[in-house]
C-alpha cells in the first residue's frame, strides 16, 4: 500500500508540474501546441522506461505537453482504469493507452468519442474494438521466433513457450503466432505454453515446469521472462535454447554472452517517439493508419556485435546533434 501511495504521489506531482508549467529557470517558454494524456504499463522494466523516454523526447522537440501516468504492475487493471478516467477529466487533446487488458478498451474509445478527442494504443493493441495502434508487428515476432527454431533445431525437438498475461494483445498474439507456426511445420513438437507470468519469479516457475517436460528450446515473450528462463536453464545445468523479445541492455548482453540464443528486437525508444509523431499527425488533420508498425531484427551470436556497434554509433550521433 505504501509503495502504491508513493507511486501515486510521484505521478500526481509530475502531472501538476506539467499542468502548471513550472519553470524554475525563469525564462519564458512557448505555450504547448497540444496536451496529450498517456497511460502506460509498469515502469519496472527498461522497455517501458525507454517507451516513456521516447515519448518525452519527441514531445519536447514538438513543444507538446504530456500528462503521463503508469500502472504499478502488469496486472493493475483497476488502477489503470482509474488513471484513464482521471485523465479524461483533464483538458487533453488526445489520449494514448498501453492497455493492461486488451479486452477492456471499448469503453475508452467511447468515452473519448463523447469528448471528441482521438485515442490511440501503444505497444499493445485493443482486442475488443478498433483503436489506432503504434508498436511492433506481434505476429511477425512470434513467426520469426518459430522460424529461427525450425531452422536451427533437429527434427523432433521439443519446444515450449513462457509468456505473460494473455489478456494483453502483444503477448497473446506472439504466443499464438509462434504456436501456430510450430504446429504447421510438423518437424518440432510444441510441448506446452506456460502463460500468465507477471514478473521474474513467476517466469522462473513457468520455465521450470517446461524444463521438467524435457524441452530443447523456450520462446519467451519478453526480455524479463527470457532472463528468468535463462537463469533457470543455467541453474539446472540444461542445454536449452532461449529466444526472447525486447531491445534492452540486459537482453542484448544476454545474446552477447550466450544466455540467449536469439533476441527479437523492438525498440522502446522508437515505439515512444513514433506514438507521439502519429498522434500529432492525426491532431494536425493528417490521415493515419490503423496500424503503425516499427521494425525489428533477429539477433544471434552471428550479428550481435555488428548490431551493438551500430547502436553505439547511432547514440553518439544523437548526443552530438
Band of pLDDT at residue 317, cut at 50, 70 and 90: low
Band of pLDDT at residue 29, cut at 50, 70 and 90: low
Q: Output phi, psi for 118, to 5 deg.
A: -75, 150
The whole-number average pLDDT for the span 185-202 is 94
Number of domains in the chain: 2
Query: How much is the mean pLDDT over the chain?
Result: 90
Spatial distance between the Cα atoms of 79 and 83, rounded to a whole number of angstroms: 6
Q: Are residues 93 and 238 in the same domain?
A: no
pLDDT at 20: 38
Secondary structure percentages of the chain, helix, strand, coil, to 5: 50, 15, 35
Q: What is the CATH number of the domain that holds 306?
A: 3.40.50.2300
What does the pLDDT look like over 260-277, one tens digit per residue? Answer: 999 999 999 999 999 999
User: Is residue 10's pLDDT more than 50?
Assistant: no
Q: Are residues 125 and 146 in the same domain?
A: no
Q: Are residues 195 and 259 in the same domain?
A: yes
Q: Are residues 20 and 151 in the same domain?
A: no
Q: Are residues 182 and 197 in the same domain?
A: yes
What does the pLDDT look like over 52-80, one tens digit per residue? Answer: 999 999 999 999 999 999 999 888 899 99
Percent of the chain scoring above 70 in pLDDT: 89
The whole-number average pLDDT for the span 1-12 is 44
Q: Are residues 189 and 226 in the same domain?
A: yes
Spatial distance between the Cα atoms of 197 and 202, rounded to a whole number of angstroms: 5
The whole-number average pLDDT for the span 300-315 is 89
Q: What region, left, alpha or beta, does residue 186 occupy, with left being phi > 0 and alpha being psi -120 to 50 degrees?
A: left
What does the pLDDT look like over 204-227, one tens digit per residue? Answer: 999 999 999 999 999 999 999 999
What does the pLDDT look like over 40-56, one tens digit per residue? Answer: 998 988 999 999 999 99
pLDDT at 319: 52
User: Is residue 114's pLDDT more than 80?
Assistant: yes
Angle at 202 between CA 200 and CA 207, to 5 degrees: 90
Domain contains 249: yes
Q: Are residues 263 and 209 in the same domain?
A: yes
Structural domain of residue 144, as residue ranges? 138-267+302-310
Provide the grid cell at 99.
492497455
User: Is residue 13's pLDDT more than 50?
Assistant: no
The pTM of this model reads 0.88
pLDDT at 312: 81
User: Is residue 163's pLDDT more than 60?
Assistant: yes
Per the DSSP assignment, residues forming a β-bridge with 291 are: 133
pLDDT at 51: 97
Band of pLDDT at residue 31, cut at 50, 70 and 90: confident
User: Is residue 2's pLDDT more than 50?
Assistant: no
Q: Are residues 89 and 169 in the same domain?
A: no
Spatial distance between the Cα atoms of 25 and 68, rounded to a whole number of angstroms: 22
Q: Are residues 224 and 103 in the same domain?
A: no
Q: Are residues 13 and 117 in the same domain?
A: yes
Spatial distance between the Cα atoms of 299 and 297, rounded to a whole number of angstroms: 6
Paired sense of beta strands 217-220 and 158-162, if any: parallel
Q: Are residues 199 and 282 in the same domain?
A: no
Spatial distance between the Cα atoms of 60 and 32, rounded to a whole number of angstroms: 9
Band of pLDDT at residue 257, cut at 50, 70 and 90: very high
Spatial distance between the Cα atoms of 75 and 52, rounded to a whole number of angstroms: 19
Q: What stretches of the chain show up as alpha helix (H) in DSSP?
A: 2-20, 46-61, 77-88, 106-115, 138-152, 169-185, 200-211, 223-235, 249-257, 268-283, 304-320
The whole-number average pLDDT for the span 126-145 is 98
Instruction: Say whether 199 sits in a helix, a strand or coil.
Output: coil
Amino acid at each position: 500500500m505504501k509503495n502504491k501511495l508513493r507511486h501515486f504521489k510521484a505521478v500526481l506531482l509530475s502531472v501538476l508540474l506539467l499542468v502548471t508549467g513550472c519553470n524554475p529557470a525563469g525564462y519564458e517558454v512557448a505555450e504547448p501546441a497540444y496536451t496529450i494524456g498517456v497511460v502506460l504499463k509498469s515502469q519496472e522494466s527498461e522497455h517501458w522506461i525507454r517507451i516513456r523516454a521516447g515519448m518525452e523526447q519527441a514531445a519536447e522537440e514538438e513543444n507538446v505537453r504530456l500528462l503521463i501516468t503508469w500502472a504499478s504492475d502488469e496486472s493493475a487493471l483497476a488502477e489503470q482504469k482509474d488513471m484513464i478516467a482521471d485523465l479524461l477529466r483533464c483538458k487533453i487533446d488526445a489520449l494514448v493507452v498501453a492497455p493492461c487488458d486488451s479486452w477492456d478498451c471499448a469503453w475508452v474509445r467511447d468515452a473519448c468519442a463523447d469528448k471528441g478527442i482521438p485515442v490511440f494504443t501503444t505497444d499493445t493493441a485493443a482486442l475488443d474494438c478498433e483503436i489506432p495502434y503504434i508498436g511492433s508487428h506481434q505476429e511477425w515476432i512470434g513467426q520469426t521466433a518459430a522460424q529461427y527454431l525450425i531452422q536451427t533445431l533437429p527434427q523432433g525437438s521439443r519446444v515450449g513457450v513462457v509468456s505473460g498475461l494473455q489478456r494483453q494483445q502483444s503477448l497473446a498474439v506472439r504466443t499464438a503466432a509462434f504456436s501456430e507456426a510450430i504446429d504447421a511445420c510438423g518437424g518440432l513438437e510444441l510441448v506446452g505454453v506456460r502463460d500468465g507470468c507477471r514478473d521474474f519469479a513467476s517466469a522462473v516457475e513457468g520455465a521450470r515446469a517446461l524444463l521438467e517436460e524435457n524441452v530443447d528450446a523456450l520462446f519467451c515473450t519478453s526480455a524479463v521472462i527470457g532472463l528468468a528462463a535463462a537463469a533457470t536453464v543455467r541453474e539446472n545445468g540444461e542445454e536449452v535454447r532461449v529466444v526472447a523479445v525486447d531491445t534492452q541492455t540486459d537482453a542484448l548482453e544476454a545474446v552477447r554472452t550466450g544466455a540467449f540464443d536469439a533476441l527479437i528486437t523492438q525498440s522502446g525508444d522508437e515505439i515512444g517517439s513514433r506514438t507521439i509523431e502519429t498522434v500529432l499527425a492525426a491532431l494536425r488533420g493528417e490521415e493515419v493508419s490503423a496500424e503503425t508498425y516499427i521494425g525489428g531484427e533477429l539477433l544471434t551470436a552471428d550479428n550481435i556485435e555488428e548490431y551493438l556497434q551500430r547502436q553505439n554509433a547511432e547514440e553518439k550521433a544523437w548526443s552530438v546533434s
